[in-house]
Amino acid sequence: MRRKQRFNFLYFAFILISGLLSVAWADDDMEKLKKEGEGIISVRAEFTQKKHMKILAKPLVSKGVVLFKRPKSVRWEYLEPVKSILLMDKGRVRRFIESDNGLVEDTGAGVQIMQFVLQEITFWLGGKFDQSPNFTSTLQAGRTIVLQPKTESFSQVIQRIELKLSDIPGVMDRVTIFEDKDTYTEYTFNNTKLNTAIDDSLFRNM
């Protein structure tokens, strides 16, 4: 269970990273891309997550909503089948999980893991798209970016990540995270809205 939670934390972080990179790699002119990235103030999108495993007859499906606001505010909320909320308010991270008593805050070691990974995201937010110490980024045909871990420790958890970019700057169509050849998680995004007003309280309160 603890290993599964670790995967979920990493998945969340990688999805946010991919959203930033969708702005960064829409063109091969890095300076132009950094300028475009500066124009993304907020993102609001719905997502569907499908977990594929060899032992499953069909994928496990979850749905939710993600909100992002510069510089360091995120709300990643699963609505079904189990409700949980991950909040990052100006760099501070909190996680709430559904229980018999409603949503309760998780204060375990997992929060520290999320803090570490989310700090990696702020590295990209600064426009340093090609300077991550943990991943190499390759732009391929069909507006697809492949992220590969640089270290053995990361590659034991994630084999690679494929990001499918929309034709609209700042919008992701799909993200696929491969653990191995038989296990992968796919996220598809829809109803994405850029630069809409998002109240700061949504990043602090459930």
Separation between Cα atoms, residue 159 and residue 176, nearest integer Å:
11
pLDDT tens across 168-190, in order? 776 778 888 898 889 998 989 89
Question: Going by C-beta distance under 8 Å and a sequence separation of 6 or more, which residues neighbour residue 75?
Answer: 65, 66, 67, 68, 85, 86, 87, 88, 202, 203
Give the separation between CA 98 and CA 176, rounded to whole angstroms.
26
Q: Considering the chain, what is the average pLDDT of its residues?
A: 76
Tell me how far apart the alpha carbons of residues 155 and 58 are, in angstroms, rounded to a whole number.
26
Please give the pLDDT value at position 1: 55
What one-letter code names the amino acid at 45? Answer: A
Q: How far is CA 118 from the centre of its chain?
A: 9
Answering whether pTM is above 0.85, one says no
What pLDDT shows up at residue 101?
A: 83
User: DSSP 3-state assignment of 97?
Assistant: strand
How far is it, in rounded angstroms, from Cα 76 to Cα 202? 10
> In this predicted model, what pLDDT tens digit does every residue of 21-45 receive, in sequence order?
444 444 444 455 456 667 778 888 8
**pLDDT at residue 61 is higher than 90:** yes
Both structure tokens of 180? 């191995």
HSE toward the beta carbon, residue 144, CA cutoff 13 A: 10
Tokens in use for 77? 């909320």
